[in-house]
Chains A and B, each alone.
Chain A
Amino acid sequence: QAVVTQEPSLTVSPGGTVTLTCGSSTGAVTSGHYCYWFQQKPGQAPRTLIYDTTNKHSWTPARFSGSLLGGKAALTLSGAQPEDEAEYYCFLSYTDTWVFGGGTRLTVL
């Protein structure tokens, strides 16, 4: 089964910019993997930020954006806020199976 990799942890300064990435053991991540990005805070259910690589839901703050970058999917946070401190998971689609990444713990400090 494919393995989806994320940075275990990242730190960003308030107001700063950070990029989280999502790689696949099978090769480059493409639009055909329909990448999702989720935010999860302690004790809460996940919240979907990005779907189909770049699409946002109505509740997704404008400071979050999804893209493909260097063979990986990427979630860029521009202008980090204290409330953005959370765990972030990506999710990729393969043929008849779907796999979450291990998550990135983002600290805003």
Chain B
Amino acid sequence: EVRLVESGGDLVQPGGSLRLSCVGSGFTFSTFAMTWVRQAPGKGLEWLSYISESFSPIFYADSVKGRFTVSRDNAKNSLYLQMNSLRAEDTAVYYCARGFGTSWFYLWGQGTLVTVSS
């Protein structure tokens, strides 16, 4: 089965750090670009980051630039999002998505919840 599974979401204090993972299965992970998107409770979708299948280019939304770092380990079929200096407004469900052809969003994961609170 072709799927993406996010993990790593947790309750973290403001100023803390967290690393999210997204594991792909059922396809050749190394050949697809990947994207992170989040959704705050009751709010809309927000694009966060993109990493190409060849590790470059990488793009970030202004809201997370300098705090979040995207990476991938193709040998482990894994995408990561290192999140530092977390704020209350980073509280959200975080989704990863896989591209296909010119579509960035061919396959979505089910999301993982990050809560930033003291």
Q: How far is the CB of A90 from chain B (nearest CB, A)?
A: 10
User: Which residues of chain B are within 8 angstroms of A99 by Cβ–Cβ distance?
Assistant: 47
* Chain B contact residue count (CB 8 A cutoff): 19
Provide the main secondary structure of the chain A interface. Answer: strand
**Which residues of chain B (68-118) have a CB below 8 Å from chain A?**
95, 102-106, 108-111
Are A36 and B104 CB-contacts (below 8 A) given A45-B95, A46-B95, A97-B61?
yes
Q: Are B47 and A100 in contact (CB under 8 A)?
A: yes
Q: How many whole Å from B37's CB to the nearest CB in chain A?
A: 8
C-beta contact mask, A2-43 vs B, less than 8 Å → 1, else 0?
000000000000000000000000000000001010101000
Nearest-CB residue, chain A, relative to B95:
A45
For B60, the closest partner residue in chain A by CB is A97
0/1 string, A66-93, CB within 8 A of B gives 1: 0000000000000000000000010100
Q: Is B11 an interface residue (CB 8 A)?
A: no
Interface residues in B50-67 by Cβ distance below 8 A to A read: 50, 59, 61-62
A residues adjacent to B (C-beta < 8 A)? 1, 34, 36, 38, 40, 45-48, 51-52, 55, 57, 89, 91, 96-103
5 further interface pairs, Cβ-Cβ under 8 Å (given A57-B106, A91-B45, A98-B50) = A36-B104, A45-B95, A97-B61, A100-B47, A103-B44
Closest 4 CB pairs of A and B: A51-B103, A48-B105, A45-B108, A100-B45
Q: List 17 A-B contacts (CB under 8 A).
A: A36-B104, A38-B105, A40-B45, A45-B109, A45-B110, A46-B37, A46-B45, A46-B95, A48-B105, A51-B102, A55-B102, A89-B45, A91-B45, A97-B59, A97-B61, A101-B44, A102-B44
